[in-house]
Amino acid sequence: MPNGCSTYGGNGRLKFHYLPHHITHAASTFLVSPFEDAAILILDAVGERASTTLAVGQGNQIRILEQLVFPHSWGLFYASMTDYLGFVPYNDEYKVMGLASYGQPTYERQMKDIVCTQADGTYRLNMDYFKPTVPWTGPVQPAIL
């Protein structure tokens, strides 16, 4: 690697730093925002293990308040639904998002059985409907819809 680094202007002694995935998401939005204080919510497929992160930004600091971990993930749920609808998961979610505004809440009852809101305001996926693998393989029982 030293030869490759020097090719790109380095001296072969570059330092690499590990940064947690959700912290990088939070930093890339909060630290360039005009706000001194902000609530930060990251909804992702999965970082190292976290899929949802609630944090607070103050000044130039970000403090994580709570995290939900894989397999309970809005991003992975969305990828699964994208796949179920015949689109390419991890690629075509924007199409599903755009089409959603034209729909009706026909399957609201079924969705409430798949994504379960908890008393504390968090959520859990009903894993009876999913194969919890990485990469995500989508719904086990798509016939529920």
Q: What is the pLDDT of residues 26-75, one digit of tens each?
A: 999 999 999 999 999 999 888 888 999 999 999 999 999 999 998 898 88
Residues 85-129 pLDDT 10s = 889 888 999 999 999 899 999 989 988 999 999 999 999 999 888
Helix, strand or coil for residue 72?
coil
Quote the pTM value. Answer: 0.76
Neighbours of 50 (CB within 10 A): 20
**Kind plus residue range of the DSSP H or E element containing 42:** strand 37-43
Residue 115 is predicted with a pLDDT of 93
pLDDT greater than 90 at residue 16: no
Res 141: pLDDT: 44
Buried b (16+ CB within 10 A) or exposed e, 16-25: eeeebebbeb
Task: Quote the Cα angle for 109-113-115, to 5°.
Answer: 110
